[in-house]
Amino acid sequence: MRILVFGETGQVGRELARVGEGMAHVLEIHGRATADFTDPEGCAAQVAASDAGAVIIAAAYTAVDAAESDEETALAVNGTTPGAIARAAAQKGIPLVHISTDYVFDGTGTVPFAPDDPTGPLGAYGRTKLAGEEAIRAAGGPHAILRTSWVVSAHGKNFVKTMLRLGAEREKLTIVADQVGGPTCAADIARACLEIAAQLAADPAKSGRYHFSGAPDVSWASFARETFDQAGIACTVDDIPTSAYPTPAVRPLNSRMDNSRTEAVFGIPRPDWRAGLRDILAELGALKS
């Protein structure tokens, strides 16, 4: 199956390029040079010109704090352009898989959020991602909105790479412990997106909202401890509340997500992020021997 991918240099885009061939897919991948996400009609034209049988949007404005002062750009990238792409895909009758986020919820409580739970973003990033979801549903074509959380890989900027750097420099770190969610490895997201795209092409009735996050749910502090343990880094972690680490954008305390619909419909279980973490550390040459 030929799949058009937006987001060449992002964490998931890089993994899509790597795992796509192994899953017998041919990928047509676009990055900023050929698909500017501040130009919605230009990106829609890429879909119209392609002979791909499905589209995956792995591009996004993910600078959560920066979005608070640049919501216009974030909305173009996360909302307007995905909507234009969705309309172009719907006109061709091909399925679209779009990666979204737990930030569309308000982060209250301790119960995992289900795909149909009421949304309530706390900041600009979540608002713009929700706008993209709504535009995709309004386009009316076959689609899967795949919400994920806490994405990590051996590429780009992410929590694991930051912990490796800081853990090597310091004996002790203070890490937020009252935010809880499921770390999700980009390689697992990539495989899920490709599988969902193929199943949607065969059965468009599977369209809808889905969740995909790693198991088990943990705090950022516990995630850091596991990273240090697997990497053999002698850095201790002290728990702190979110209130002790203020940021421009409010972070959700509860990022837990109910993945049961994804497994029931597509047969894709929650991945164990600890196994994915080992793969990431091995790729970075940081796994404890």
Enumerate the domain spans of the chain.
Answer: 2-157+184-215+256-271
Residue-wise pLDDT for 202-213, tens only, equals 999 999 999 999
Residue-wise pLDDT for 168-179, tens only, equals 999 999 999 999
Residue-wise pLDDT for 221-246, tens only, equals 999 999 999 999 999 999 999 999 99
Q: Are 58 and 5 in contact (CB under 8 A)?
A: yes
Query: Which residues carry out catalysis?
Result: 125
For domain 2-157+184-215+256-271, the CATH superfamily is NAD(P)-binding Rossmann-like Domain (3.40.50.720)
DSSP string, 143-167: EEEEEE-SEE-SSSS-HHHHHHHHH
The model's pTM is 0.96
Q: What is the mean pLDDT of residues 18-27?
A: 82
> Residue 272 burial by CB count (10 A; 0-12/13-18/19+): exposed, middle or buried?
middle
